[in-house]
A and B are shown apart, each in its own frame.
Chain A
Amino acid sequence: MLQCIRAFFAARNVQEVETPLLSHASGTDAQLAFFTSTYETPPYSQTLFLQTSPEFAMKRLLAAGSGSIYQICKAFRNGEAGRFHNPEFTILEWYRVRFDLAQLMEEVEALFDILFDGRLNAPQRVSYQTVFEQYTGLNALIFSYTDYCTYANQNDLSDAIALCGQNHALWLDFLFSFCVQPYLGKNGLCLVYGYPACQSSLARLNAENPLMTERVEIFMNGIELGNGFYELADADEQNRRFDSEIQIRQQENLPVAVKDERLLAALKNGLPDCSGIALGLDRILMVLTNSTAIADVVSFDITRA
């Protein structure tokens, strides 16, 4: 699989890079918990964070003029362990300069065609709003508490009401996870684009409909395999989103995040127009080998690491 990926990008003139796993700054996303470590250089010691994805470092390379790049590396997400999660996992992340989301989706489809040796059903591209309505009958972009509650009550999911309350983003996470995602991408890719704005912190807003973002998620056999964006290049907007996420973390008493000023400086310097995506390689290997648990495709999962 790795050879196949490297050959794919070599043929497309995308350069392989390596960036640090340890960083002085962390992601701010309240939904991603980071690992913290301590860098000891007596008499000093400094907190370093294990990356939750290589995104920030790779964007700094892009801003420095690297051109299109890809990386295969480890990423770390604290507290995530289950059938489809291991706190340490392998990411394939790549950025394509001057690509919009549609071009990136095309490239993802081409990569999967090679990885699966042409055995997949034709890829399906569908907007979040369409697929959400198809499976739930609900409008994903405009939140109606009564409609959402009625749906939950009728579908034996009444616990969603107490759990999600008036939180639109939480409702979408809940309903998409349990009522939509399991049915996506039977033996083929399903690319869901146009995520609601409340669901994505790093994507650009859609130029025509600000309720939607330029974000795409990749699914196959009901498993989430990756997430991509038409990247936000506006340093001020990025800074605002960092601050609002840091505030959310405070409200929820989550560990304090350290804003990546070096990324912001790089964005100020100018991030080229680009799209990027991260794929979970362990999960792709699960699908390739028909495995039911991530523990089956890694040498030692966290319970045995």
Chain B
Amino acid sequence: MAVYSTNEFRSGLKVMLDNDPCAIIENEFVKPGKGQAFNRVKIRNLKTGRVIERTFKSGETLEGADVVDMEMQYLYNDGDYRHFMMQDTFEQYQADAKIVGDAGLWLKDQDMCTVTLWNDAPLAVTPANFVELEIVETDPGVRGDTSGGGGKPAKLSTGAVVRVPLFVAQNEVIKVDTRTGEYISRVKE
């Protein structure tokens, strides 16, 4: 794998740090006029999702991490693992609940999502920004109510619970922003 110097640390670059794959978020060059040059780097650990700050002497290097984001189709959950498939090669990958994490709340069979591979093994799963899911459980709809007001909880087919306006009824399909977990709109069949 390639080796990257602090000068090459750009947002999004994937490197190995403390044996974990990480993504560079921010890299600031800090140098006193008559002193040592440093790079203060914000890094996300891709395994834990934690963001840490590290300081390097300018010119220090880190090994690149073989991390790629792949668009895959979510197939099914066998109880222990969720299975994903590359659409062009039909190659399949499996990921356990620890890797899938909260993304599992938004994954519907056949939907497309992003699977991050590290050394060709799933590292993280990111759902599409917007997903359309059916409401399986909510209080009955109230006619005449508009989207203002408090709303009510609604359980979706994937198990996620979101707040929806009072007029939304059970068995309806709604669009949700997976980044915030917020209701966007009803989806007309």
**Chain A contacts to B: CB under 8 angstroms:** 29, 31-32, 79-85, 156-157, 159-160, 163, 169-170, 172-174, 176-178, 181, 199-201, 217, 224, 227
Contacts and interface: CB of A to CB of B under 8 A. Distances in A.
Interface of B: 7, 28-38, 40, 53-59
A199 B30 contact: no
A227 B59 CA distance: 25
B96 to A, nearest CB: 32
Nearest to A202: B34
B55 A173 contact: no
Contacts of B33: 217, 224, 227
B37 A163 contact: no
Contacts of A177: 30, 32, 35, 38
21 contacts: A31-B31, A31-B37, A79-B37, A79-B58, A79-B59, A80-B31, A81-B29, A82-B28, A85-B31, A157-B55, A159-B54, A163-B56, A170-B36, A173-B32, A173-B35, A174-B38, A174-B55, A177-B30, A177-B32, A178-B30, A199-B34
Contacts, number: 62
B34 A160 contact: no
Main secondary structure of the interface of A (DSSP, over half): mixed
B29 A31 contact: no
**Residue among A81, A82, A157, A181 with max Cβ neighbours from chain B (10 Å):** A82
A96 to B, nearest CB: 20
Contacts of A83: 28-29
Contact of B35 (A157, A160, A199): A199
B28 to A, nearest CB: 6
Contacts of A173: 32, 35-36, 38
A199 B183 CA distance: 58
A120 B187 CA distance: 58
Contacts of A163: 55-57
B29 A85 contact: yes
Given A79-B58, A199-B35, 4 more contacts: A82-B29, A82-B30, A176-B35, A200-B34
A181 B33 CA distance: 12
Contacts of B55: 157, 159-160, 163, 174, 178
Contacts of A32: 34
A232 B28 CA distance: 34
Nearest to A280: B33
Contacts of A84: 29
B88 to A, nearest CB: 36
Contacts of B37: 31, 79-80
B54 A178 contact: no
Contact of B34 (A29, A79, A178): A29
B93 to A, nearest CB: 34
A205 to B, nearest CB: 16
A181 B32 CA distance: 10
Contacts of A199: 34-35
Contacts of B28: 82-83
B34 A227 contact: yes
B157 to A, nearest CB: 43
Nearest to A80: B31
A157 B55 CA distance: 8
A270 to B, nearest CB: 26
Contacts of A174: 36, 38, 55
A81 B6 CA distance: 12
A81 B58 CA distance: 11
A85 B150 CA distance: 51
A103 to B, nearest CB: 22
